[in-house]
Every structure is written in C-alpha cells, then in structure tokens.
A and B are shown apart, each in its own frame.
Chain A
Amino acid sequence: MTDGKLSSGNTAYSPANKNPAMRNTFKCVLVLGVIAVVCVLLLAVANKFLQVEIKLDRATSDMINSIAPTGASDAEAYDKGYIKMVDLSKGGYAISNIDDFNKKGSNRKVRALYTSAATDGKITYVVESEDKGNDAAIVMLVAYGDDGKISAVKVKSQMESYWDKLDEKKISKAFIGLSGTIRDAQIATDTGATHSVHGIVGAVNIANSFIEQLGVTGNVQRRA
C-alpha cells in the first residue's frame, strides 16, 4: 500500500510548486481573453443600437432625381413624394423581403428599392446596392428602363483610396443599355483601380439580379 510519498523522497506535487512561467503565461492569456470578450460584447450591444437604417433622405432623393428624372425640382420631388422607397413587405412583388434575397455574409447586397414617378405618369425603378471595393463598400444607385436594361447609374457613396484614378462619368455611361451579369472588362480596363471597378460592377450585378427576380420591368405601373 502506498503512503503517497515518492520513492526518491521528494515531496508530492502541490499548487505551491507550480511553474511560475506557466502561471504568468496563463494569466496573460486569461487577461487578454477577458478584455477581448468584454470588448466584443460592448461592440455587439452598440451595434444593435447603432445599426444604420436605410431610408430615403434628401441627398438620396436628389441623386435619384438626377438619374430617373421626375420632371420636378429636387425639392418638389422629395417633398411631394414623387420619389419613394418601396416597402416590399406590403406585397405585390416577387420578393417580399430584401434580407431574404441577400446572401448572408456576402459583401454584395441590395439595400433598397425606390420608385421615381415622372410628371407624365411613368414610374422608374431604382435599386440601391453595394459591394466591397478596395477599401470599403461602394454604394450604387441603378435606374432601369421599361425594357429592364440599365438606363442610368450613379455612385451614391464610396471611400476608395484610388477613386481619383477612375473617370466616374465614363464608367457610369458604360453601364447604360446593359443587363444581366456584366463583366469588369465591359466597363473599364487598366484603370489602376481594379478592385474599385470590381466593386462597382459587383454592386450593379446584384442590382440587375434583384430587378430580374422582382419582375417589375416591362410591366410599368402608371401613376393615377
């Protein structure tokens, strides 16, 4: 029967004999881990309250009025509601929820759908979409004609470092008349801002896909 003592006569293992280097390493990892967890929780809570709600503001309305003209001034178009954000949940569309359309975890997504009602009664659909450029998200506004093809494109926002290498007007014009999946080479080549171009084209492509699935073009509603 053993008596708990080692045959060499050494004292049995106890916490007091723990390797101090191991204890220090453990403390470092623990403190770093706790700080990281607390910071992540703080950010998660903040994210819940600080999520950006996409809504039609005056700046967006003015941009939409420039690519899908209502025939009215910017102020009138906004104040009188000629430009509206579409609430898909109210029904009447093939897609009832933008979040269901967007793939989870993808940088490429549709943000909103707007309608621009012209004074002659014609309604133009404008899709707001985004994709990641070189540095951050590039947000695009894409207007569609009756034939379902792109009638105009505008960059709503970007934070690209190499944006000055791009001719925004030339790129916007290159999209007109296109539909479906567009390749980067159809829009711009050798710009020196490849990722930014890829982001722009990606955003427009997701908008094209959305408008095709929505099935609203070719069936233009007239304002009463």
Chain B
Amino acid sequence: MDIKKLKETALGGILNNPVFVLVLGMCPTIGMSTNVTNALGLGLATAFVLVFSNVFVSLLRKVIPDKVRLPSYIIIIATFVTLVQLFLAKFLPSLNASIGRFIPLIVVNCIILGRAEAFASKNSVGYSALDGLSMGLGFTCSLVILGGIRMLLIAAGFSVFSTAAGGFITLGLLMALFNFIMLLYRNHVKAGLLKGGEAL
C-alpha cells in the first residue's frame, strides 16, 4: 500500500478543498449555507453520492468505453441522488422540505462528476471511496463553516448576508483565509524539508 498516496487521498478534502481551493459546487454552497442544519444535510447528502458514485465508477472503469463514460457516470450519479431523495422523503421530511429542491442539483454538481472523471476512473475502488469520503466531508465542513458564519452575521443584524451577495462576500473572505493558512502550512513543510524532515 502506498502510504504517501493514502495520506494525499485522505487529506484531499482539506488540501484540495472543493469549495475553498477547487471552487466547485458553488450553487448549493451559496444557496444552502444560510443555515447550519441545511448546510449539514446537503453536505452529507453530497458526501454519500460522492462516495458511492466513486466506488461504482471505479468498479466499472475498465468496462465503460471511453465514448460513453460521461453518460454512464451521469446515470450512476443520478441513481444515488434519487436514493438520497427517497431516503430524505421517507425518514427526514422536514429536512426534505428545506433542502429537497437542491437534492436533484447534486447530479450536476461539478464535484461529483469532476472526481469521477479525474480520480475514480483512474484509481482502485479503495482509493476512490477514500477520495469520495474525503472530498465529501471537506465539502460538508466548508458548507457548515460558511453556514455558521452567515447565521451569526444574520443574527447580528447584517441582513445582507442572507442574500447571495452576502454569501459570495463571506465565501470570498473565507477562501482568502483558508488559502493563507494553507500557504503558511506549506511554507512550514518546506522549512521542515530544508531541515531534512519528511514532507507530506
């Protein structure tokens, strides 16, 4: 087992965070981050679809011809999105009422198709599942952090943060902060390398 690849894949959700670094899935990020509960619900739904679609795409990567890979991925992703929708309607109707209209949009969320194309179609099932989990949890955490901050600002009386404009402002500032922290981390790692330490 390649430990380095395992670490990179497991930490992909942080180092290549889909929201703050890759800037994918902006529609649900802005739309559903006004409320922590909705953000958590949508994030976990996306994570579920990401993991299982990655697994199935990886399982079938040697079978699916190149010409029909995108339609095949869409069918697989849509199946899991439908499963999520059925589950929410049955067991979590109140959450379904809040975020239900955004669930079908998960099918065209760039994160899902992007990871299927860029990772799952080229890696084994284990790594693909781990990548899906890492990216999914990274997306969920981003949404929850953004949702929490917007909730606090809205509660403090800054109603502009309940709008899309406020969402973009908050997201932009968080992106800057996140990338600054990542820059500090990478500089720290480089310094460690120069001193003869092991880099990630």
Contacts and interface: CB of A to CB of B under 8 A. Distances in A.
B86 interface: yes
Given A28-B67, A157-B97, A50 B75 contact: no
Contacts, number: 52
Interface string A33-58: 00110010011001100111000000
A118 to B, nearest CB: 28
Given A31-B65, A43-B82, A161-B101, A50 B72 contact: no
A136 interface: yes
A144 B90 CA distance: 29
B64 interface: yes
Interface string B43-81: 000000000000000001001110110011001101100
A135 B104 CA distance: 11
B67 A24 contact: yes
A214 interface: no
B174 to A, nearest CB: 27
Contacts of A59: 94
Interface in B82-138: 82-83, 86-87, 89-90, 93-94, 97, 100-101
Contacts of B83: 42-43, 46, 50
A50 B86 CA distance: 6
Contacts of A46: 82-83, 86
B87 A50 contact: yes
Interface residues of A, number: 21
Given A31-B68, A32-B68, A43 B90 contact: no
A164 B97 CA distance: 15
A43 B68 CA distance: 22
A35 B63 CA distance: 11
Nearest to A51: B90
B108 to A, nearest CB: 16
A36 B73 CA distance: 11
A35 B86 contact: no
B90 A35 contact: no
Given A159-B100, A159-B101, A39 B86 contact: no
B72 A27 contact: no
A50 B67 contact: no
Contact of B71 (A32, A43, A50): A32
A35 B87 contact: no
Contact of A136 (B75, B87, B93, B101): B101
Nearest to B88: A50
A86 B193 CA distance: 73
Contacts of A52: 89-90, 93
In the A-B complex, the 3 residue pairs with the closest CB atoms: A50-B86, A39-B79, A159-B101
26 contacts: A24-B65, A27-B65, A28-B67, A31-B64, A31-B72, A32-B72, A32-B75, A35-B60, A35-B64, A35-B72, A35-B75, A39-B79, A42-B83, A43-B79, A43-B82, A46-B82, A46-B83, A47-B86, A50-B89, A50-B90, A52-B90, A59-B94, A136-B100, A136-B101, A157-B97, A159-B97
Given A24-B67, A50-B83, A59-B94, 10 more contacts: A24-B65, A28-B68, A31-B63, A31-B65, A31-B68, A32-B68, A43-B82, A50-B89, A136-B101, A159-B101
